[in-house]
Amino acid sequence: MWDVYVYFSLLFLSLACWLSRFRDLSPALKALGVPLLATLVMEGYAAYLMFQMTNTVWLYHFITPVQYTLYAFVFYHGLAGAGIKKTVLVSVPLYLLASLFIILQLQSSSEYNSYARLMKDALIVCCALVYYWEVFTKLQVIRLAREPMFWVSTGLLFYSLGNFFADGLMNQLLEQSYRLAHAVFYINVFLGLLLHATFLVAFWLTREQPAVPPCKTVLP
C-alpha cells in the first residue's frame, strides 16, 4: 500500500503548489488544477473502496472520460493554433459518445475499460505531440527545461504512452493470470508517480518566473 500513500502525497503537493501560485499561473496551468482536484476526489473514493475490499472497476468507466475531458481543456489553453484548439474541443464530445457506446455495447461496468483507456491515452499522446510540434517548428520556446507546459506535456506523454501498452494487455492478463496482471499494474503506479512529479515541477517553475502566455518566446 506504500504506492497509494506516495501517490496521494505527490497529488497533495501538486495541489498545494497550484493553490499557492494560482494568480501567477498561465491559463493552461490554472486549468490543470481542475483534473488534479477531480482525481483527488474520484481516486480518493476508489482508494477508500479498495481498502474496504470492494471492486472499483466500475468506477473507472466514469473516471476515465472525466479525466480526458479535463486534460483536453488544459491542452486547449496550452496550444496556440486556433484550428488545433477547435479540434481538441470537438474531440471531447466525440470521446464521451465513444465511451458511452463502449460501456453499453462492448465492455460492461464489471469489465476493465481497456478500450476507453486506450482511446484516452492515444488522444493525450496526440495533444502532447502537437505541443512539441508547435514548439519546435515555430521556435517559440527556447528554454524548454524552464517552461512549465513542457513538463506538463512530457509527463502526460510518458504516462499515456506507458499506459497504452499496459491497458491494452490488461484484460487478457486478467483472464490468464491475476498475478501477472498485478505486476503489470505497477507500471501504471510508477507512471502515475512520474506524472504528478512532473506536474509538481511545472508548478514549482512558475514560482521562479512570471507566467508566460502559451508558445511565447522565452529568452535565455
Express each pLDDT in 129-184 by its tens digit: 999 999 888 766 567 888 899 999 999 999 999 888 887 777 676 667 667 766 77
Residue 218 belongs to some domain of the structure: no
Hey, what long-range contacts does 43-49 have (CB within 8 A, 24 or more apart)? 44/8, 47/4, 47/8
Quote the pLDDT of residue 25: 92
Please state the length of the chain: 220
Mean pLDDT of 32-54: 91
Considering only 5-14, 54-63, 140-149, 207-216, which range has the smallest mean pLDDT? 207-216
Cα–Cα distances (Å) from 89 to 27, 37, 66, 74, 99, in that order, read 16, 21, 14, 11, 16
Mean pLDDT of 24-39: 94
Residue 214 belongs to some domain of the structure: no
Mean pLDDT of 56-76: 94
Q: Which residues fall within 8 angstroms of residue 147, CB to CB, at 6 or more apart?
A: 141, 205, 212, 218
Quote the pLDDT of residue 206: 80
Residue 110 belongs to some domain of the structure: yes
Instruction: Kindly state the percentage of the chain with pLDDT values over 90.
Output: 55
Question: Looking at per-residue confidence, does 92 or 142 come out higher?
Answer: 92
Quote the pLDDT of residue 220: 40
The domain total for the chain is 1
What are φ and ψ of residue 96, in 5° steps? -65, -40
Mean pLDDT of 5-10: 89
Residue 203 belongs to some domain of the structure: yes
Quote the pLDDT of residue 141: 59
CA Rg, the chain, in Å?
18
Residue 154 belongs to some domain of the structure: yes
Give the domain range for residue 58.
2-208
Rounded distance between C-alpha atoms, residue 199 and residue 18, angstroms: 9
